[in-house]
Structure 1
Amino acid sequence: MKKHIQSTKLLFSLLISLFLLASCTQNEPLKIALSKGYPYEPYQNYYTWIKSADSTIQVQEMYNYQLEEALKMMDDCDALLLSGGADIYPGRYGKEADTARCGGFDLKRDTLEFALIKKAMEMEIPIFGICRGQQMLNVAMGGTLYIDIPTDYDTTVVHRMKTTYECIHDMYVEPNTKLSWTTAIIKGETNSNHHQAVEKIADVFKVAARSSDGLIESIEWKNPEEKAFLMAVQWHPERMDLSNPLSGNLLEAFIDAVKESVIAKKEDAE
């Protein structure tokens, strides 16, 4: 009898969650903050990628706004997606003397994304970092970067080419990580377009994947308990086919986490 009651309660709880999820997605479209996007042409893939999961999702571009306004807009967002782009100013991670070895960097964007990360963590909403986005998360939490892979790291693996869609290399997923549970693979092929990478990983993170030469390809929370969803990858899943678990599975995990976060916040507010 007791087991029957427990089963009934569990079923009722599940039905309530499904009802809230349906209400959330039907009446209040999710809104995801994109650190840099439209109208810059290389960033259009992010919109297509996100909306392939749910066409009703609103993508709020942040780069074209003043910092104060962008932070205010974050109050209405349900998640943060940090996109790829230029190098991060090396003074942010103690290598100002190596500035000349960097490519172009964008001080305005650095300031904006540091503030967006801080705000998103205070709001306890999901964060997804892609390429520069992974590097930014690592630097924001106290980690460092290799200034230039070809000169600072002994490798024969090509991580950057002019024809970015053709630069492919193997990647190995660390066991017992969120990435391994999400993708259900131990090895895969990813696209690549970067000359910098995570060097010293921030204390709050752990390695979730490496390329065959040992470079860090993905990071995640070391201790994820009671923390909002966070995933970061060095490759570009938004440029890959959704049938690839290193793209489609990541998108699904991110959007599911956003929906669950919205539901949880609604329940807390009631």
Structure 2
Amino acid sequence: MDYDTLTVRAEDAVLFAGIRNRPMNLLGPELVRDLVALLQRTEADDTTKVLVFTSEDPDYFISHVDVTRIAEYRAEAAKLVGEPSIALLFRHLSASRLVTIAQIEGRVRGAGNEFALACDMQFAARESAIFGQFEPAFGLLPGGGATQHLVRLMGRNRALEVMLSAQDYDAELAERYGWINRAMPAGEIGDFVRALAHRIAGFPGSGHVAVKNRVNAIALAPVEDFRRDSDIFGDGVRDSEAQSRIRAAVERGFQTRDAEMDLARMLGDLPHH
């Protein structure tokens, strides 16, 4: 399997996919295209049971969507789910027979965080993982499922804090809020995730499917709710105020690697309304 934005290797029934979409792992059409192809191939391959996502960029897991190419990445998502929506692509990932694990090192914000939330488990490096759901800084609802996941995981009050503040959260606080499974030392996370993935892959796939189906019946929002959030984001991002604030952020370095190392501060400096 050869991809432009993923490095893939197999270990028995576990597949490791390293994200490498330079310069800062933006979720653009190339990465969405490769994720769609990876899911199609892996779901059709009965020998693979567990899919682990890592990043080859130490500073960014997935930064967020490329706001200059929204129509393009949505069109790539439609090739799997039949509708131009990464929310539905991410929900497909959650509903997949595959067990998915996000091994998070570096920044994961916006749709990057929504991708991680769509995975079945999330483990984060204490020293480097930074989480954020910043769309409300532009006057927008997160469109990839964050509202559905965060409210269920951490409760109404913390979900409101996370989204309305558009702040960065380190791995320790994310763990305390119930955002992720565990925060772990960077020196241990790789071995831990690998061992866990192989342990799970050693058990019958029928059990994975049965458990995921019943857990999802309780905890995963219906397709209609993901579609609704996606539509609200799509409408909102075309609004003049949202476009004005995005332009102001771009002028301050939005979607550049160095400026987004401290994205929360930059968003706080945008003009007030």
Determine which structure has the larger helix proportion and give its number.
Answer: 2
TM over 0.5: no
Higher Rg: 1
TM-score, structure 1 as length reference: 0.36
